[in-house]
Amino acid sequence: MTTRRKKIYEGKAKILYEGPEPGTLIQYFKDDATAFNDQKKAILEGKGVINNRISEYVMIKLNSIGVQNHLIRRLNLREQLIREVEIIPLEVVCRNVAAGSLSQRFGLPEGQALPRSVIEFYLKDDKLNNPMVAEEHITAFNWASTQEIDDMMALTLRVNDFLTGLFAGVGITLVDFKVEFGRLYENDFARVILADEISPDSCRLWDTQTNEKLDKDRFRRDMGDVIEGYTEVARRLGIMKEMPTVIQGGLH
Ligand code: TMP
Ligand code: ASP
Residue-wise DSSP of 176-243: EEEEEEEEEEETTEEEEEEES--STTTEEEEETTT--B-STHHHHTT-S-HHHHHHHHHHHTT-STTS
DSSP state of 127: G
* Structural fold of domain 7-85+226-249: Phosphorylase Kinase; domain 1 (3.30.200)
- CA–centroid distance, residue 12 to ligand 2 (Å): 8
At residue 252, the pLDDT reads 46
Half-sphere exposure of 4 (CA within 13 A, CB side): 2
- Would you say residue 2 has pLDDT above 60? no
| The pLDDT of residue 100 | 98
Distance CA 103, CA 152 (A): 24
Domain boundaries, the chain: 7-85+226-249, 86-207
For the stretch 179-207, pLDDT in tens is 999 999 998 899 999 999 999 999 999 99
* Ligand (nearest to CA of 130): 1
Whole-number Å distance, alpha carbon 197 to ligand 1 midpoint, is: 13
DSSP for residue 65: T
Q: Are 88 and 223 in contact (CB under 8 A)?
A: no
120 CA to centre of ligand 1 in angstroms: 11
Q: How far is the CA of 38 from the centre of ligand 2 (A)?
A: 6
- The third-level CATH classification (topology) of the domain covering 86-207 is D-amino Acid Aminotransferase; Chain A, domain 1 (3.30.470)
pLDDT digits (tens, 9 = 90+) for 36-65: 988 999 999 999 999 999 999 999 999 999
Is the CB of 34 within 6 Å of ligand 2?
yes
Q: What is the pLDDT of residues 118-160, one digit of tens each?
A: 999 999 999 999 999 999 999 999 999 999 999 999 999 999 9
Is the pLDDT at 30 greater than 50? The verdict is yes
Sorting pLDDT into bands at 50, 70 and 90, what band is 4?
confident
Q: Tell me if 45 CB under 6 Å of ligand 2.
A: no
Residue 247's pLDDT is 80
